[in-house]
Amino acid sequence: MLSEEERERYARSLSILGEEGQQALRRGRVLVIGAGGVGSAALLYLAAAGVGTIAVADGDRVERSNLQRQIIHTADRLGENKARSAARAMAARNPGVQIRVIPEYVSSQTLPALARRYDFVIDGADGLETKLMISDSCVAAGVPFCHCGTQGLRFQVMTCLPGRSPCVRCAFGHPAGSVSGSTLGPACGCAGSVAAAEAIKYLTGRGELLTGRLFTADLMTMESRMVPLRRDPGCPACGASGQQ
Amino acid sequence: MEITVDGERKTYPRPLTVQEWMDLEQVRNQEVAIIHVNDRDIPPDRRKSTLLQEGDRLQLLYFLGDS
Ligand SMILES: [Zn+2]
**Domains of chain A: which residue ranges?**
4-228
Per-residue pLDDT at A176 exceeds 80: no
Per-residue pLDDT at A46 exceeds 70: yes
Which residues, chain by chain, have CB under 5 Å from ion ligand 1? A 167, 169-170, 235, 237-238
Using a CB-CB distance cutoff of 8 angstroms, which residues of chain B are in contact with residue A131? 63, 65
Q: How confident is the model at residue A31 (pLDDT cuts 50, 70, 90)?
A: very high
How distant, in Å, are the alpha carbons of A41, A213, A217, B34 from that of B27?
32, 24, 19, 12
Mean pLDDT of A170-183: 83
B65 at interface of A, judged by CB pairs closer than 8 A: yes
Which of B 6-45 lie inside 8 A of A, CB atoms?
6-7, 28-31, 33-34, 36, 39, 43-44
Looking at the partner chain, which of B28, B44, B67 has a beta carbon nearest the beta carbon of A36?
A: B67
Using a CB-CB distance cutoff of 8 angstroms, which residues of chain A are in contact with residue B67? 34, 36-39, 123-126, 148-150, 183, 188, 191
Using a CB-CB distance cutoff of 8 angstroms, which residues of chain A are in contact with residue B61? 172, 214, 216, 227
Residue of A nearest to B6 (CA): A223
pLDDT value of residue A241: 64
* CB pairs A-B closer than 8 Å: 82
Check B30 against A179: CB less than 8 A apart. Answer: no
Check B67 against A124: CB less than 8 A apart. Answer: yes
**Domains of chain B: which residue ranges?**
2-62
Residue of B nearest to A168 (CA): B63
Strand partners, A35: none
What is the least distance, in Å, from the CA of A7 to any CA of chain B? 34
pLDDT value of residue A164: 96
- DSSP codes, B4-45: EETTEEEE-SS--BHHHHHHHTT--TTTEEEEEETTEE--GG
pLDDT digits (tens, 9 = 90+) for B43-53: 888 999 999 99
Q: Which CATH class is domain A4-228?
A: alpha beta
What is the least distance, in Å, from the CA of A4 to any CA of chain B? 37
Q: How confident is the model at residue A244 (pLDDT cuts 50, 70, 90)?
A: very low
pLDDT value of residue A242: 61
Mean pLDDT of A85-96: 98
Which of A66, A68, A106, A180 to substitute to test the interface with B, most B CBs within 10 Å?
A180
Using a CB-CB distance cutoff of 8 angstroms, which residues of chain B are in contact with residue A182? 66
Which of B27, B38, B40, B66 to substitute to test the interface with A, most A CBs within 10 Å?
B66
Q: What's the CA gap between A85 and A79, in Å, rounded?
A: 10
Q: What's the CA gap between A180 and A197, in Å, rounded?
A: 25
Looking at the partner chain, which of A173, A179, A182 has a beta carbon nearest the beta carbon of B43?
A: A173
Q: Which CATH number is B2-62's, of 3.10.20.30, 3.40.190.10, 3.60.10.10, 2.40.50.140?
A: 3.10.20.30
pLDDT digits (tens, 9 = 90+) for A113-145: 999 999 999 999 999 999 999 999 999 999 999
What are the pLDDT tens digits along chain B (67 aa)?
A: 999 998 889 999 999 999 999 999 988 777 788 888 998 889 888 999 999 999 999 988 889 999 9
Q: What's the CA gap between A196 and A47, in Å, rounded?
A: 10
